Structure 1
Amino acid sequence: MEKVFMFFKKKKSLPQLVWKFVRANYFISIIAVIILFVGLIAAYKLLSSEDEYIYAKIKISQGLWWANTAKPAVWMVDAIKKGDVEVSLSGKPMIEVLEVRNYPWWSSDEYVVYIDAKIKVSKNKKTDTYSFKRVTIGVGSPIDLELPSVQTSGTIIEMSEKPFLKNKLIKNITFVKKWAEPWEFDAIQVGDTYNNGEEDVFEILDKKIANAQAEYMPKLGYNYPTYSESKVHITVTAKVLVREENNNIIFGEDQILRLGKGLNLATNKYAFTDYFISDIQ
């Protein structure tokens, strides 16, 4: 019994043991206190800070905007869904897809894809810049999207602290094609439309045809006869959803429409190749 009493008498309490360790290892103790203090401050900021969100228009692409890379294929267009949300490890929304718009790329099987997104950011009030995943972002900067159904990247083309306004209007655009094949006129259907995934942005209102004649000479010389091939001139008028910005008429986010310029348009039934704008009303 006396031995047990002496054991507890010699045994020091926990605070005494801690104090003894601190005195013997004061340098390690100072580092531990600093780490604990920084951790408490970081945890307080994380728990007490309010989430800050901005709105961004993103053009889906590979890397930097000036790089000439492949456009998304139809399977990528189908994979990006309106309402998709990327969440952080804590379960907070990082990116929410608000809209998805796509346009065919010059009679190919590729598309130009744009999304409107709500992004959780951190704002540096001194420099008035935003950071996403600890990387500074702005117009022209790349951004990675890790959505539930797809992982892709894009370029930010516009940013706003408020939801984007839909300042769009309808223009009647007339465009023509010279020396076209007769079957092309038959393939164009009045009333045919194109939907960009959110709304109808193009509808054919009228079409006209004029006969043309193309003559060819098989070989150079004076004694070789020429032969002719049936050709037509096609004129199409369509209702196009556009926006006006800085005296420019813009279709599909970044395609400027002006007289004499080629037109990148298509419907589900016909791709308008080698057409040029002749009138804008």
Structure 2
Amino acid sequence: MFFIKSGFACIIGRPNVGKSTLLNQFMGRKVAIVSDKPQTTRNRILGILTTEDAQAVFIDTPGIHKPRHKLGAYMTRLAQETLEEVDLVIHVVDASVSPGTGEEYILEQLRDVSTPVLLVLNKIDLIKKQELLPLIDWFSKRYDFQNIVPVSALTAENLDKLRELIAANLKEGPFFYPAEMVTDQPEKFVAAEIIREKVLHLTREEVPHAVAVVIEEMKERENGLFYINAVVYVERDSQKGIIIGRGGRMLKEIGQLARQELQAILGNKVYLDLWVKVKKDWRDDEAVLRSFGYE
């Protein structure tokens, strides 16, 4: 007999362990921005993977960490609230980094969670095989994981095994989304995230964490061209100067890279009008956070 299965899987972990890279590998395309900066993901990202008989809906949460400002508290709360809403929790760790207080903190958050938890030891392409056993032993002594799977999200090593374990946790039932749908994120959100990703790649130190991107206007004109008016918000005048760059060169490069990717996604030419504004200490202002979409 032919059964259809479906379910939700939440991807959690410390900042910068490869959660978004893992989600993008599952999807075979980018649905979450990727950067070497911690705390890249700020909103739950839905990736919807549908096969002939199964649909897995992946939620990529912000990295769980002890918050230092109201934005950090929002991000951590978002991740924690997701844990009881799903059929499976996928806890991703960086196998190339020795576990410590950060991992202890996450395991403590999982203590009262009834949802099954898979442990994914990511970035095994960066370590020797003999380094895996002590790592597995460390985590096994601290939490009763349903399974432990070493993978490399970057090279896709052992992802087939992980897919099998995820499929085993799906429940018999109808698809939640149309089979052709790959994400629930609207075009404005995707555009803002792509612009923010380019800022993350091109800037350093405190600047990436102080950036928010708001799409003021996005519409397709009669000639098929997409017009996008976007504002990059920062917290300090000095940060504004860095993003604009000498003679506007940095802002121009951010715009060029973002426009190229947006054109590939939208399938049309894009006119990107990019501005930089200062909103002092916006990460600690609840009203501003709400206006930026961090509810």
Task: Give the structure-1-normalised TM-score.
Answer: 0.30
Q: Which has the larger share of strand?
A: 1
Task: Give the structure-2-normalised TM-score.
Answer: 0.29
Q: Which has the larger share of helix?
A: 2
Which of the pair has more CA radius of gyration?
Answer: 1
